[in-house]
Chains A and B, each alone.
Chain A
Amino acid sequence: MATTTCTTNTPKIEKKPKVLVLQRINAYFEGVLSPHFDLLKADESSLPIPAFLSTHCRHIRALLVMAPIGTFGSSLLDQLPSLGLIACTSAGVNHIDIDACRKRSVAVTNAGEMFTPDAADYTVGLLVDVLRRVVMADRYVRNGSWMLKGDYPLGSKVSGKRVGIVGLGSIGSHVAKRLTAFGCPISYFSRAPKPNYPSYTYFPNVLDLARESDVLILSCALTDETRNIINRDVMIALGKDGVVINVGRGALIDEPELVRCLKEGVIGGAGLDVFVNEPEVPEELTHMENVVLSDHRAVTTPESFKNVLELAIANLDAFFSGKLLLSPVSC
C-alpha cells in the first residue's frame, strides 16, 4: 500500500510498484489490485508478447498469474531478468516451473488456504450428490417422471461410509473434519503420516487405502508422482460400490481408464470437478447417471476471490518491502 511519509502539507504520493500481468484480467480483480499496484497489462499492448517483454519488462520484479493455465517456465523467465516474485491467485501451481524459478531465485506465492473451505464444501456436496443421486433425482422431478413413474430408485447412505483421502493437506483435512461429522471413519494416504491427526488411519500407499475405503477423495497437488495416481488397480481395489471424488486436477486420474471402470461397473460412481483436458469432458461420462460432473467451479465464490486477492496483495506488499512472503510455495 502506498504510504505518505513526509510532513509537508502536500502529500507525496510514492509510485505504486509495477506488477506485470500477461493474462486477461477481469474488472473485479483489476478494481481490487489497481489502487495498490501499477498493473502492466500485456494484452493492452499492440506488441506481440516477446517484443512487449523485451521492450517494457526488463525491470519488472513481480508477475501476477491468475488462471492456472499455460506454462510459466524458463523461456519466459529468461525474458524477465529482474523478476523476483510470481504471485499466483490459484492454489495449484503445476503451471509454474518451480525448478526454473528456484534456479533464478524467483519466489512463487499461491492462494494459500484461501480456497480451502469452498473446495472442501464442494467435495462434500459432490459426494452427497453422487451417493444420494441428487442431481439425477432433480432431473427426474423436472422432467415429470415423479408423476409418471413413481418413486425414484434408492441411493446409498453417506453417513458411516469409509472415506479415504489422497493428500491430507489443507483441503484434505478440511474434508476430513466435515465428513467426520457425518460419522465417516477417515483414512488417508500422504507422503508421510500426519501426527496431528491421530484419529485418522494412515496408509503408506493408495492401493491399500482404496482397499479399505468406500470413497476415495483426491485432494493432493498434481506432480510427477501423483499423475495418474488413480489407475485401474486402485479402482479395482476400491470396488464396485466405490466412489471417486476429484476436485484436484484431472490428471490425478487415468481418465480413459476411469471411463472404462465406470462403464464396466468396476467402480460404482464418481464426482468430478476437473478433467485432463478442460473444457473437454469425455463424451461417455456425459451419458452416465452414476456420476456428477462439474465445470471446475469448486472454488469460484466471491468469498474465495476476495480472500485470495487480499492474500496476493499482502504477498506483493511483503515482497516490495523486503518482508517475509505469506504464502510461499516451498521450492
Chain B
Amino acid sequence: MDKIGVLVTHKPLPYLEQELTRRGCRLFRLWESPESRRLEFCRENSSEIRAIVGNSNFGADAATIDALPKLEIVASFSVGLDKVDLPKCKERGIRVTNTPDVLTDDVADLAIGLTISVMRRIPSADKYARSGAWKKGEYTLTTRFSGKRVGILGLGRIGLAIAKRAEAFDCPISYYSRSEKPHPNYTYYSTPIDLASNCDILVVACALTEETRHIVNRAVIDALGPKGVLINIGRGPHVDEPELVAALVEGRLGGAGLDVFDNEPHVPEELFALDNVVLVPHVASATIETRTAMADLVLGNLEAHFLKKPLLTAVV
C-alpha cells in the first residue's frame, strides 16, 4: 500500500496507525482538524486520499465523499455503518467494509455485564464499599437477573450472542425482527411494543437505519415499565433520549445500562445522580483483543482492495 493516501477520521489504535504507516500509507489525520475545518482539510488533500478509515463516530457522509474524488474504499473500524452514506458509495463505485464477527463476543459480553450491573447495582456497591460507610450486618436488596425475561430488538449476530448467554441464566428469550427467524426456542413478537410489554429486560441490538431510529420511543418505554430495564449497545439514536431520561428520572422505567448516546461524548447529566443506571463511554468493542482484530480486518480489507483481491468483509 505504498504511498496510498488514507484519511483516518478518528484517533486510531496505535497498532493500526503503526501498521498503516509500516505498509507505506500516507496518513491524513482528520480528527486533528477542528470540526469546522474538516471538509477543507479533505479538499486540500483530495489528490492523494484514496481510502478512508472511519469509525462509529465519523464515517463518510455525502459531503466528505464529494470532497474526495479519488476515494476508492471506506474501511470502517466498526460493524455499524450508519455514519457511511451507503447509497452514495454505491453510486460512486466506492467499496465499503466493516468489522463484523470479531466484535460480536465483546458486545454480547458487555450487554450481559451491563444488565447484571444495573439490576444488582454493582457500581453503587463498589462506591459504598470504598466509602467507609458500610455498617456491620447491613445489606442492600437488589433484583435477581436469572430467570428474568429478556427481549432483544434485532436477532442478528450480536442479538443471537446475547440470547445464547442469557439462556445460560435461564432467561426466557423473545425478540423483535423485521421477520421471524428459525429459532423455535425464542418467542417472536411482530412489534417492539409487544416485545417490550412481554419482557423484563429489553436489549437494543439492531442496526441503525431510518426505520430503527427511535425504535425505543415513549410508547415502548411505557410498555417496558417501572420494573423494566433497557440495555442499549446499539446506537444512541435508537432511543428517544429525552423520553428515556424523563422516564428514568420520574421512575416510569426501572433502570438502564447505556453504552451509546445521541451525541457522544455528551451524556444527559440528569442521569448522573441515578443509581439505577450504568453509563459507559461506547466501550462495547473496547478490548485490546477485539480492537486488534478489528484493526487486522481493516488492514486486510485495504490491502485486498489495493492488491485487487477479493475484499474480506465488504458491505458495498
Contacts and interface: CB of A to CB of B under 8 A. Distances in A.
The answer to whether A and B come from one shared complex is: yes
Interface of A: 67, 69, 117-118, 120-122, 124-126, 128-129, 131-135, 137-142, 146-147, 150-152, 154-160, 177-178, 180-183, 273, 278-279, 281, 285-286, 292-297, 300-305
Interface in B117-141: 117, 120-123, 125-126, 128-130, 132, 134-141
B262 interface: no
Contacts of A160: 105
A120 B116 CA distance: 11
Which 8 A-B pairs give the minimum distances between C-beta atoms? A128-B113, A125-B116, A181-B168, A159-B105, A293-B129, A117-B146, A279-B134, A294-B125
Given A134-B110, A158-B105, 4 more contacts: A117-B170, A118-B144, A134-B280, A138-B123
B164 interface: yes
A297 B120 contact: yes
A157 B144 contact: no
B113 A158 contact: yes
A147 B129 contact: no
Nearest to A304: B144
Contacts of A125: 113, 116-117, 120, 122, 145
Contacts of B267: 141, 146
Contacts of B168: 177-178, 180-181
Contacts of A120: 146
A122 to B, nearest CB: 6
Contact of B289 (A142, A146, A156): A156
Nearest to B264: A146
Contact of A132 (B134, B138, B266, B283): B283
Contact of B145 (A121, A134, A146): A121
Interface of B: 11, 105-106, 108-110, 112-114, 116-117, 120-123, 125-126, 128-130, 132, 134-147, 164-165, 167-170, 264-267, 272, 278-283, 286-291
Given A128-B109, A156-B289, A279-B136, A297 B145 contact: no
Nearest to A155: B287
B110 A128 contact: yes
A312 B105 CA distance: 41
